[in-house]
Amino acid sequence: MRFQVLDIIPHLKNPVTGEIVSTADRLNQVVETARRAEELGYDSFSVGERHAGEFISSSPTTVLAAIAAVTTKIRLQSGVTVLSVLDPVRVAEDYATIDQLSRGRLELVIGKGNEVLQYPLFGLDLADQWELLAEKYALLRRLWTEENVTWSGRFRAALTEPTTTTPRPFAGAPRVWHGSATSLASAALAAQWGDPLFTANAIQPRENYKVLIDHYREEYARHGHDPRHQYLGSGSGAGGVFIADTTQEAKRQFGPVYEALTTGRNVPGNNSPYRDIDHAVADGPALVGSPERVIDKILSYHALYGHDLQSISLPTTLPFAQQLEILERFALEVIPAVRAAAPTTLWGDGDPYAGRPAFAGTTETDAAARVTADHNHHGSSHVHAH
């Protein structure tokens, strides 16, 4: 299995202490986390996009460019690029620029977004969200794979003159994943094009996401795509990963923060049913507990989903030093066991995108070796929750 760190850049007070970092510090923490994730052998770092709510991720391309400047190997992803509200021409230009700056390390994850307030902000009708996504993705694909494109559609002005966006991607069109959370539509769109799917696996019971995954695989086969190129990513629940020496200790330390954040969030139709920490650890997707408990949970989801890429998010309201400690413990104490139990061809031999530069020297064995070497060089000191 491969591993991603995702930050949708929420900017929230710690609900227990009331503390909050400045906007500048929070954004710089994202960049520093990505740099440290590369050192620890994570495979990719993903930056979310939101244009409403308590988030400061309205410009993910800027943040990804900053990350590209301080890293050399880790893949850069979006999570998600809210393509439904964006201009595909600008998306093609901006993300190709990041692909060039990172020398071919970009992979896009697109979706219609998880915030309904974004649509009126951009003068769009929420009722059109799926049609917007489908039309804009079809144009984006052409802009990245063709030159002198002419095009007409329903939602933007026609390209009546032959158009070639610049810069071009670094080494052919980057791979595009499709984020899927609540509807069959994104799963069907991914399957239509033969693209990989990224299940949010965030707040609903696992069986709900399995319905979307099964639909994706059925449609993928119906369209006749090569099953060897069918990859699946999975999120890890709202609230963030938290590791302690025992599961009971993890719940004791992180429970008050998790429960305050969960009960304080009231978005009708988008609330987690796992309101208390015991329920979240026992039945929800949250990766909270001892290393062994977290390993078992990831592998239990893998048994159901068969996913290739596991995404984690840090609990960003906690002190930053503590976040980095969790990042390290996960790399040292969870990743090696899961990699051994759940191999994948993603970003390795047999992957159709293996010709892109970011694939050089990045087998799962290489990544595990980097984690061990980094640990031996730096040592480890556990920081406990406040």
Task: Work out whether the CA dihedral 350, 353, 357, 358 comes out positive or negative.
Answer: negative
Superfamily of domain 2-378: Luciferase-like domain (3.20.20.30)
The Cα–Cα gap between 188 and 192 comes to 6
pLDDT of 295 strictly over 90? yes
Mean pLDDT of 200-222: 96
Mean pLDDT of 330-344: 98
- In sequence order, the 6+-apart residues with CB closer than 8 A to the CB of 207 are none
Contact 213, 184 (CB under 8 A): no
Task: Give residue-wise pLDDT tens across range 25-41.
Answer: 999 999 999 999 999 99
Mean pLDDT of 188-213: 96
Of 101-105, 265-269, 370-374, highest mean pLDDT: 101-105
| Mean pLDDT for the chain overall | 92
Own/partner long-range contacts of 127-131 (Cβ < 8 Å, ≥24 apart): 128/155, 129/84, 130/84, 130/183, 130/185, 131/155
Task: Give residue-wise pLDDT tens across range 105-154.
Answer: 999 999 999 889 999 999 999 999 999 999 999 999 999 999 999 999 99
The encoded tokens of residue 193 equal: 């094009």
pLDDT of 333 strictly over 80? yes
What is the torsion angle, in degrees rounded to the nearest 10, for the CA atoms of residue 302, residue 304, residue 309 and residue 312? -80
pLDDT value for 267: 67
The encoded tokens of residue 214 equal: 């099964």
pLDDT of 370 strictly over 70? no
pLDDT value for 314: 98
Query: How would residue 380 be classed by pLDDT, with cut points 50, 70 and 90?
Result: very low
pLDDT value for 268: 60
Query: Which has more confidence, 351 or 376?
Result: 351
Query: How would residue 237 be classed by pLDDT, with cut points 50, 70 and 90?
Result: confident
- In sequence order, the 6+-apart residues with CB closer than 8 A to the CB of 126 are 116, 119, 120
The 3-state DSSP composition of the chain as helix, strand, coil percent (nearest 5) reads 45, 15, 40
Q: How large a percentage of the chain has pLDDT more than 70?
A: 92
Mean pLDDT of 314-330: 98
The Cα–Cα gap between 187 and 212 comes to 6
Which DSSP letter does residue 58 get?
S
The Cα–Cα gap between 263 and 250 comes to 19
Mean pLDDT of 36-64: 97
pLDDT value for 31: 98
Mean pLDDT of 261-286: 84
The Cα–Cα gap between 255 and 267 comes to 21
pLDDT value for 360: 59
The Cα–Cα gap between 268 and 258 comes to 19
Q: How large a percentage of the chain has pLDDT more than 90?
A: 83
pLDDT value for 243: 98
Least confidently predicted of 250-264, 294-308, 314-328? 250-264
pLDDT value for 240: 87
User: DSSP 3-state assignment of 143?
Assistant: helix
pTM of the predicted protein model:
0.93
The Cα–Cα gap between 299 and 281 comes to 14
Mean pLDDT of 17-22: 96
The 10 Å CB-count burial string (b at 16+, else e) for 328-341 is bbbbbbbbbbbbee
